[in-house]
Each structure stands twice: as structure tokens, then as C-alpha cells.
């Protein structure tokens, strides 16, 4: 999704999308789409297409992330978290960006308790995905 690196990419991430993800508001997709339109200065049709592509790939990425965490392959899991983080940040989906950023750091550190922290963060990501589905 590198096509999202536009001149408007430096705009701050919106807290409005973050709020809708946390509260599970009914119009979450519309709010995210509107944030993409305004944050990246894109036509509505393009924003919808980008969000749909993101939502098509996210379940596969989350499944791969889960499998790597379960196997204890933290470097591979960190790489997947980094990928999700990038796509989420580009689309201004702040809560998923924040969670995957934290998860990536936990997985890279691979210290004692890493698995439990990773499981908890993954659980939050999984809940957000259900709200978006």
C-alpha cells in the first residue's frame, strides 16, 4: 500500500477513527473512509477501495501473526505486526496502528513475559477486526 505515501501523509492521525474503533460505533467503516478522504485528500471511491483492500488482507495477516506468536517465532511475528502497522498508519486507522506498534516492540524485545503481552495485544486486535467485519 505504498501508494498512500502522498504529500498529505504528514497530517496527524485522527482521534475520531480511534474513538469509533474503541466504541464499536455502527458507522465505523464510513468514519474510517471519511478519514482516508480528508487525511489523504483522496476521492471517496479510491478511499473505499483502499479500505476494502485493507480489510481483505487484514484477516490473513492476523492469522499469520497469531500462528507465529503461537509457534514462538517472534521475529516473524514482529515483521507481520510491522506490516499491519504500516498499512494501518497509512490509512489513519489509529487504534490498530497503536496496537501493532506496541506489539511489534514487544515481539522485537522477546523478553520474559513476551508471549503473554503479545497474546493480550493480539486479543485486542482480534476484537477490533470483529468490529470492522
**Looking at residue 84, what is its pLDDT?**
96
- Predicted confidence at residue 29, as pLDDT, reads 85
Give the pLDDT score at 50. 94
Instruction: Enter the C-alpha cell of residue 56.
Output: 481483505
Examine residue 62 and state whether it is found in any structural domain, yes or no. yes
1 belongs to a structural domain = no
Q: Where are the alpha helices (DSSP H) in the chain?
A: 15-23, 28-40, 44-71, 74-90, 94-109, 114-132
Look at residue 91 and tell me if it is in a domain: yes
CA gap 116, 102 in Å, rounded: 13
- Please give the tally of structural domains in the chain: 1
Q: What's the predicted TM-score (pTM) here?
A: 0.75
> Does 6 fall in a domain?
no
The pLDDT averaged over each successive group of 10 residues in the chain (133 residues) is: 31 41 61 91 94 94 92 93 96 92 91 82 87 77
Give domain status of residue 109, yes or no.
Answer: yes
CATH number of the structural domain spanning residue 54: 1.20.120.160
Domain that holds residue 52: 12-128
CA–CA dist 100, 96 (Å, integer): 6
Looking from the CA of 103 toward its CB, the CA atoms found within 13 Å total: 33
Asked, for residue 4, whether it belongs to a domain, the answer is no
The answer to the question of residue 95 being in a domain is yes
Is 16 inside a domain boundary?
yes
Amino acid at each position: 500500500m505504498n501508494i498512500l505515501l502522498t504529500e498529505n501523509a504528514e497530517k496527524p492521525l485522527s482521534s475520531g477513527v480511534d474513538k469509533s474503533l474503541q466504541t464499536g460505533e455502527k458507522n465505523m467503516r464510513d468514519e474510517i473512509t471519511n478519514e482516508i478522504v480528508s487525511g489523504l485528500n483522496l476521492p471517496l471511491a479510491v478511499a473505499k477501495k483502499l479500505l476494502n483492500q485493507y480489510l481483505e488482507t487484514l484477516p490473513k495477516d492476523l492469522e499469520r501473526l497469531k500462528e507465529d506468536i503461537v509457534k514462538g517465532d517472534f521475529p516473524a511475528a514482529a515483521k507481520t505486526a510491522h506490516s499491519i502497522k504500516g498499512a494501518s498508519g497509512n490509512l489513519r486507522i489509529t487504534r490498530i496502528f497503536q496496537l501493532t506498534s506496541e506489539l511489534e516492540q514487544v515481539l522485537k524485545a522477546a523478553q520474559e513475559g513476551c508471549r503473554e503481552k503479545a497474546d493480550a495485544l493480539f486479543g485486542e486486535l482480534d476484537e477490533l477486526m470483529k468490529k470492522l467485519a
